[in-house]
Amino acid sequence: MLTLSFVHENTLKRILPMVQEILAASGASLNEIDALAFGRGPGSFTGVRIGIGIAQGLALGANLPMIGVSTLATMAQGAWRKTGATRVLAAIDARMGEVYWAEYQRDAQGVWQGEETEAVLKPERVGERLKQLSGEWATVGTGWSAWPDLAKECGLTLPLWGGVAPGSGRYVTHRQSKAGGRRDRCRGTCRAGLFA
């Protein structure tokens, strides 16, 4: 089980008590869990790195592997939990005239496909990507309100449903690798999800 939380203020003061609360609620100790998930972004530069640092400290102390969870995939999961949408366009305002972007589709096994579409794009490039899609897609994230013309003339049915904050997906299903382990595991140095 992966539990994600979005903390705005006093993160450093609240994070360890939150970890203790989550473990107590699950009836497990840190040494009894299989892996530690962390939000790998995209997101605020400082916030993502604080999260990775805290998770890495806990994981190293308990000798646990880490699993990086995409903010955009978490938002897609949140949209599915709230609306049942299985095709989700996630867009976060990346500031400086750019958008963190992903196109996610939930498969028959409940796994989100589309991680390879994650990118940081200029709004015009988002419009080009939208023209390559068809059908109905749910939309989530701050990118839609920051750039209201993103979907202009794209030919898609895009119900605007922006009610998902990063971290509100709560649980994200990860695909298994061919070796049977989870994707995005790392030990030692873990990196934020940065896009080219």
Task: Read off the pLDDT of residues 126-147 as tens digits, 9 standing for 90 and up.
Answer: 999 999 998 889 999 999 988 8
pLDDT band at residue 196 using 50, 70 and 90 as cut-offs? very low
What's the fold here for domain 71-146?
Answer: Nucleotidyltransferase; domain 5 (3.30.420)
Phi, psi of 137 (to 5 degrees): -130, 140
- Is 71-146 in the same CATH topology as 11-69? yes
- What is the CATH number assigned to the segment(s) 11-69? 3.30.420.40
Supply the pLDDT for residue 186: 46
> Global pTM?
0.74
